[in-house]
Structure 1
Amino acid sequence: MAGRTGAPWEAGEPDPARGLRLVPGDGYPDWEAVYRDNVGWVYGLMFGKVGNRADAEDLTAEVFTTALKPLRVSADVREVRAYLRATARTVLAGHWRTRMGREITVIDDDFPDTGPEPPPDGRAAERARAVLANLPDRYRRILELRFLQGLSVRDAANSLGVSVANAKVLQHRALRMAAGSDEGGAR
């Protein structure tokens, strides 16, 4: 039973004689290993893009859930990471499309494969404070709760004493106003 490459069996297929599976030396033995080796950089990427823990955790879970069926465990490490990056792009685009009505699909390929991104430089933090200061109190407060304190929509709604639906509307309007007020700002 020769495979496409002429080998007795293909990587990832069971050896008919022994019931074993050939795993390439630069591959993963199982899904647990794929997850353990890649969850850190996927979470770091998502946290760097959305800026809060709750959304980053949800998006990271969605990336792995989405990749579970089509991704071959027998793929080498480089292929797995490339596929996870492509899946992260798609998941992030869906996230921004539902949150902001925009499709933002750019993810730089030069980010490190380890941990979360470092905190922003002083100029970015200063600019963020200036944008928040220009917002009405309720808009500023919802953004602080969601993105600076990392609260879920439900927790932010409880803190503000409003419904979850109202908190979502406030957040959406606040983000649109913040984006509009920062368009003329320094980049």
Structure 2
Amino acid sequence: MRAVPGAGHEAGYPDWEAVYSDNVGWVYRTLFARVGNRTDAEDLTAEVFLAALRPLRLTVSVAEVRAYLRATARTVLAAHWRQTLGREITSIEDIEQPADSEEAISTAPQRVARVLDALPDRYRLILESRFLRGNSIKESAAELGISVPNAKVLQHRALRLAAQVNDGGKQ
């Protein structure tokens, strides 16, 4: 971590360069795991940092910066899926490496299916509505017949459990 040295997670970052260098790796890896190709992952990573640049304050803690970047990455990824919905998710076009290279083969669709199958129905439904169909939180709440605040809590819990399932149950 490149936050203020010796200040722990409570202190913020000294500048935007530190925010970027400390977080670009995990943001890129997260997006690459979901989209399956380097070009889209790089473009989406740039979009995340550009979207976060204006509203994000350097005075907040490192944990808050990371939480904001995670939320921004989800939003950017949802917009990407919304634009590409209708194309087969498993197809990976215009890859410069040979198709059999490890980096070129995406297991994201299989991992998503495995994670969603492991979730309780309500959690699976909220995540499918929000991230696979690109619905707003309000639309998802109406679809599930629940209030918007309840949908937000449900989504938060679903994402937390999905992350645990994806990590193999590690906490």
Name the one with the larger helix percent: 2
Structure label with greater radius of gyration: 1
